[in-house]
Structure 1
Amino acid sequence: MTAKPAFYITTPIYYVNDIPHIGHAYTTLACDVMARFKRLDGYDVMFLTGTDEHGQKVEKSAAAKGKQPIEFCDEVSQRFRDLAEFMNFSHDDFVRTTEERHKIACQALWRKLEDSGNIYLDKYSGWYSVRDEAYYTEGELLDGEGGEKLAPTGAPVEWVEEESYFFKLSAFEDKLLTWYDQLPETVLPKSRKNEVKSFVEGGLRDLSVSRTSFSWGVPVPGNDKHIMYVWIDALTNYLTAIGYPDMAGEAFQKFWPADVHMVGKDILRFHAVYWPAFLMAADIAPPKRVFAHGWWTNEGQKISKSIGNVIDPFEIVEEFGLDQVRYFLMREVPFGNDGDFSRNAMMSRTNADLAGGLGNLAQRSLSMIFKNCDGQIPVCGSLTEDDTTILAALDSQLDKVRDQMENQMFHKALEVIFNLESAANIYFNDQAPWALKKTDPERMATVLYVTAEIVRQMALLIQPFMPDSAAKLLDQLKIPADQRGFDQLGEVGRLASGVALDKPEGVFPRYVEAEKA
């Protein structure tokens, strides 16, 4: 038997100084959809998420709560695990940067960077933002209202002077530019790639990669008064989970280089400039792709704790339903762009696309089969041109969906699937099987068979996006668990006539807003 092709996708590991919000759910959901899609398409998938638990910001947050850093990290990291379970994410590993395996990986990478002559000891003096965990040049700073200096993100900065190890980032300009050009989709969307290229073309300065003014982090091997810069520590998680420093091991050999690092656009520079440079310096292949997605606003307003409009994923799922929220987040906005979360849009997607679209098609057709075909999948008689046209469109869906998924265009993949749902509802209404019941029961049976087959294939295709709802539809059609992969799409997996069905139940309920008290 041929080995399955490998596919490795990662979320950024989430910083534990805050509780999970919609942005965290969004990034991990995108990875979950991609991982599920690839598994169904015959790949051996590694899907990684986790928490980033070191750095000055965590040390300060823990102190503010009167807790030891590890105690604080244990609590917040657990919330991210809880969110992953709640959102039905299918990750294969959850890495914490406080684990021993991670410390071993970080220190091994550091030694490689040192041995290759890419790290040297000097003094750092410059502006540093604790909130962003980032260094800024004078030219990048903004003036605050009170005359104070601010980072381009609006975060406060402080002047730092301390002994520091530096990484020779300046030596990697040409190599990075070659990497961007050799692989056309190294950084997506293209606008983000242009942004990264122009940053590198503007000239790179060596990067301070250690701190001495706090102690919560991975010690520099051979000089433990230095703590590794949190971004060397955090980014190494992608190697930790596949067994680094054992580069000859099965997991490393199979899954590296990573296929996709999924990140928010605010941390693109760390992933698309610093990280590939660290890897090149350590003689490790850089990842195949970094995809930077956009941010969400809430009813047109920037989301912020001070305004009090943070979107809690637990709350919206409780209100609208898990798969409805998963569908909305992947469908509403072109993936890679910024998007707005609005209740009206959420209600519209839930009621029009799901309840009124696919849900309605499945419920009407399966109810008619249950009532009029002895509760069994009917026999498919001779096909008309209308039947063969819709079945041909149905059977060619996977290639179209796959094309969009390859570039993480989740919204377009769903558009392809739901365009077919619209065509299927038109087909069902035009054929009017309820009228054929008296005039031509054999034709009615064929129309109902074709419609049930459409429901089967659509249910297979929506599995990555709405796994629970897809499973309910496939259960109603009595599709065995081992016949739900994409290898069953098309003619090969056609429904078997005569299979007894249970009374169908609606899968996508309409959303009705609770009356205001």
Structure 2
Amino acid sequence: MKFYITTSIAYANGSPHIGFALESIQADVLARYHRQKGDEVFFLTGTDEHGTKIYKTAQKAGKDTQKFVDEISEEFKGLKSVLNLSWGDFIRTTDQKKHWPAVFEIWKKLDEKKLIEAREFEGLYCIGCESFKLVKDLVDGKCPEHLVEPEKIKEKNYFFKLSEFGNNLKQKIESDEIKIIPQSRKNEVLSFINQGLTDISISRPKEKLPWGISVPGDDSQVIYVWIDALTNYISALGFGNENNENFKKFWPADVHCIGKDILRFHAVIWPAILMACELQLPKNIFVHGHITSGNQKMSKSLGNVISPVELVNKYGADAVRYYLLREIPSIEDGDYSEEKFINRYNGDLANGLGNFSARVLTLASREVNLQINTDNTNKEISSTEKVVEQKISEFKFNEAIEAIWKLISFGDIYINQEKPWGNTNVKEKNDVIVRLVLILEHVAKLIIPFLPETSKKILESIKHEGNIIKINKGENLFQRIN
């Protein structure tokens, strides 16, 4: 089976922060899990490189805008090795050969359906969100996301007739044709639609925003960043180009993995555009929460970001992956602190998985002839596998990991109960140690999507020669942090 998963594309106005690392790792878990199941996976990420904010940030830095986004894009590409991500393609919205033809094709289709209209418009524009705001969206006159007052803008724009799609969108979402996870986000989108959809601006005057893709047939206007950016999910597959085999093969997306701040764009505007163009809709939109620090959202705008690169340099990729997947609830906000990180690292990785692995491999490495018997299977292993499969299908990565760590705890209890080092009965001792090795081996297979490097180390320590197990005890997986 095919499986197409995307992250949102990162906004290229600053270095990567831990929030995008969370999303990338969550998507990577799904990609690795589906490869493990034998699916053919297309995993896409990339950078969104147009818009007012990027243009102004580049100007402030005294850099050519293209050179600026080239540098930032390379930083996001670098996350692949830093976080051990397995994406197969990286799309850039400044890619004129790969991305722009799809944007032009979408615009053309909307225009042919008479769903685009030029209008004079006056409104409140938040540069941080790259979107217009209604007064009711503001808190004390400020954007609740970026804590700044939006600019009053009066200009001629092109509008997409989003208002025509309310009923159709509502039906698609209510029926789960587009499934929004979690339910609370689905309810949020339906509530928004029920208030009545308004037409949306899909361009800005070039005199105000010289950085972007020109509107076909009107060089005085630039295509609005969200129409441009959302199209990446199909431009990366070749839509709008002659070579569109991947589009035919992989579209629709099985999962869009996004943050809650861009939910409306992905669950309302994007499906409406696709319906207007008579294209298939994404199957699932998985919405994660934000990482907070002191219960405040981390964002470039607020200047309280944590660098995933610095964290990985300090603690290692798998430790960072583990913390973000275990400590941050998949569908809710979670708070980061170094104290919590170290507690998780020492408690779960060093004392938990690391200690269990060391105990089992040390015991097993002392035995010359470990032989698997038919009664060495364990019901705890099979029940854990079922729970993990269920939790991943529900996007509850933290609960999937919790189930795996319960299996580790079971293994620890089993060692302490059986005390194989003191057993003089050769067969009983063999059976206990083999059972422990098989538990560890299954733990290693279960953590492949979550901790790929750690999994690899464990599996390389355990070799099967027929029904004989050979152990090559390596180094300790995780050293305690003092």
Shorter-chain TM range is over 0.9
CA distance in 2, matches of 1:116, 1:306: 38
State the secondary structure of the residue aligned to 1:334. coil
Matches within 5 A, 1:346-361: 346-361=341-356
Greater shift in the superposed pair: 91-100 or 337-346: 337-346
CA distance in 1, matches of 2:303, 2:203: 35
The 8 Å contact of residues 469 and 508 in structure 1, kept in 2 or not, is answered as: no
Equivalence for 2:410: 423
Equivalence for 1:236: 231
State the secondary structure of the residue aligned to 1:399. helix
Cα distance change of structure 1 residues 123 and 179 upon mapping to structure 2, 3 Å threshold:
same
The one of 41, 45, 51 equivalent to 2:47 is 51
Structure 2 stretches lacking a partner, 5+ long: none
Greater shift in the superposed pair: 98-107 or 210-219: 210-219
Partner deviation per Cα, 1:52-100 (whole Å, 9 max, x = no partner): 0001111111111111110111111111111232111110100000002
CA distance in 2, matches of 1:127, 1:185: 30
Partner deviation per Cα, 1:204-255 (whole Å, 9 max, x = no partner): 1111111112221111112122110100000000001111025994311221
Partner deviation per Cα, 1:179-210 (whole Å, 9 max, x = no partner): 11111771111111111111110011111111
Equivalence for 1:225: 220
Greater shift in the superposed pair: 82-91 or 241-250: 241-250
Cα distance change of structure 1 residues 63 and 307 upon mapping to structure 2, 3 Å threshold:
closer
The 8 Å contact of residues 124 and 132 in structure 2, kept in 1 or not, is answered as: yes
Matches within 5 A, 1:75-94: 75-94=71-90
Matches within 5 A, 1:48-197: 48-100=44-96, 101-143=98-140, 149-153=141-145, 154-183=147-176, 186-197=179-190
Cα distance change of structure 1 residues 457 and 247 upon mapping to structure 2, 3 Å threshold:
farther
CA apart distance, 1:344: 2.7
CA distance in 2, matches of 1:134, 1:122: 17
CA distance in 1, matches of 2:301, 2:93: 29
Question: What percentage of residue pairs aligned between the two structures are identical?
Answer: 42
CA apart distance, 1:309: 4.2
CA distance in 1, matches of 2:130, 2:149: 11
What amino acid is aligned across from residue 128 of structure 1 in structure 2? Answer: Y
CA distance in 1, matches of 2:53, 2:253: 28
CA distance in 2, matches of 1:40, 1:302: 34
What amino acid is aligned across from residue 432 of structure 1 in structure 2? Answer: K
Cα distance change of structure 1 residues 258 and 184 upon mapping to structure 2, 3 Å threshold:
closer
Partner deviation per Cα, 1:259-294 (whole Å, 9 max, x = no partner): 111111111111111111111111111211111111
Matching of residue 15 in structure 1 with residue 18 in structure 2:
no
The one of 244, 264, 280 equivalent to 1:285 is 280
State the secondary structure of the residue aligned to 1:478. strand
State the secondary structure of the residue aligned to 2:463. coil
CA distance in 2, matches of 1:504, 1:233: 50
Equivalence for 2:429: 444
The 8 Å contact of residues 476 and 502 in structure 1, kept in 2 or not, is answered as: yes
What amino acid is aligned across from residue 61 of structure 1 in structure 2? Answer: T
CA apart distance, 1:359: 1.8
The one of 27, 31, 43 equivalent to 1:31 is 27
CA apart distance, 1:328: 1.1
The 8 Å contact of residues 335 and 409 in structure 1, kept in 2 or not, is answered as: yes
State the secondary structure of the residue aligned to 1:193. helix
Cα distance change of structure 1 residues 203 and 248 upon mapping to structure 2, 3 Å threshold:
farther
The 8 Å contact of residues 8 and 47 in structure 1, kept in 2 or not, is answered as: yes
TM-score using structure 2 length: 0.95
What amino acid is aligned across from residue 229 of structure 2 in structure 1? Answer: A
What amino acid is aligned across from residue 156 of structure 2 in structure 1? Answer: E
CA apart distance, 1:139: 2.8
The 8 Å contact of residues 290 and 298 in structure 2, kept in 1 or not, is answered as: no
Structure 1 stretches lacking a partner, 5+ long: 144-148, 480-494, 513-517
The 8 Å contact of residues 367 and 504 in structure 1, kept in 2 or not, is answered as: no
Partner deviation per Cα, 1:314-355 (whole Å, 9 max, x = no partner): 222222221111011101132110001122322222222222
What amino acid is aligned across from residue 16 of structure 1 in structure 2? Answer: A
What amino acid is aligned across from residue 210 of structure 2 in structure 1? Answer: S
CA apart distance, 1:399: 2.6
CA apart distance, 1:157: 1.2
CA distance in 2, matches of 1:417, 1:26: 20
Matching of residue 397 in structure 1 with residue 384 in structure 2:
yes
The 8 Å contact of residues 131 and 156 in structure 1, kept in 2 or not, is answered as: no
CA distance in 2, matches of 1:353, 1:468: 16
Cα distance change of structure 1 residues 503 and 422 upon mapping to structure 2, 3 Å threshold:
closer
TM-score using structure 1 length: 0.88
State the secondary structure of the residue aligned to 1:170. helix
CA apart distance, 1:499: 4.4
